[in-house]
A and B are shown apart, each in its own frame.
Chain A
Amino acid sequence: GAGVSQSPSNKVTEKGKDVELRCDPISGHTALYWYRQSLGQGLEFLIYFQGNSAPDKSGLPSDRFSAERTGGSVSTLTIQRTQQEDSAVYLCASSLAQYGYTFGSGTRLTVV
């Protein structure tokens, strides 16, 4: 597509439920990144994909967080048993080699 698409744009969920966040990167972009921005905080790296593999998962805050990427394209970030501290804006970005990043508009997750 023309840009990085994320869905849903907003998600309100009850504590303890699982949520799935989707990122559809720019066609052909091999690298895909997930970042998180909690209220009043800076951007925090979560995980990055090169193709379908995830060489760097170091930013995932707990084992409740997982992500996958299929077909070198769409990625899903899953948060199991959500907690209130998971509330944040989850941003996806894609890039191709040495070129710049394109960010999606984010998913605002609120855990109540």
Chain B
Amino acid sequence: KNEVEQSPQNLTAQEGEFITINCSYSVGISALHWLQQHPGGGIVSLFMLSSGKKKHGRLIATINIQEKHSSLHITASHPRDSAVYICAAKGSGNTPLVFGKGTRLSVIA
């Protein structure tokens, strides 16, 4: 079974700071997902990537398949970025996601 580890567990940043959240997994995957969960509980899918790098607005996700590691970066962070960020590993086919425990981000104005 894949083990997915995230770090840090909690992160507090000042508005405008560059933020990095890390995710590592133990077994080869078909895709790595980054999810965002706001205090109300709803989950939004931010990225799904299997290689390289993706960018959406101020968010950047990278993955290194050989090292079994992915990072989520937030540039020019803003208080509205405050949320729990979860990485999840997907095996082949329709196997369910294996989730990390999440990183709770608080961005202070």
Contacts and interface: CB of A to CB of B under 8 A. Distances in A.
Interface of A: 30-31, 33, 35, 37, 42-43, 45, 48, 50, 55-56, 59, 89, 91, 95, 98-103, 105-106, 108
A98 to B, nearest CB: 8
Contacts, number: 52
Contacts of A99: 48
Given A42-B86, A91-B43, A105-B42, 4 more contacts: A30-B94, A56-B95, A59-B96, A89-B41
B99 interface: yes
B76 interface: no
A56 B96 contact: yes
Contact of A45 (B35, B94, B96): B96
Interface in B14-70: 30-31, 33, 35, 40-45, 48
B48 A108 contact: no
B94 A106 contact: no
20 contacts: A31-B94, A33-B96, A37-B41, A42-B99, A43-B88, A43-B99, A48-B95, A48-B96, A55-B94, A56-B96, A91-B43, A100-B33, A100-B45, A101-B48, A101-B97, A103-B45, A105-B40, A106-B41, A106-B43, A108-B41
Nearest to B98: A45
Contacts of A43: 86, 88, 97, 99
A108 B75 CA distance: 33
Contacts of B94: 30-31, 48, 50, 55, 95
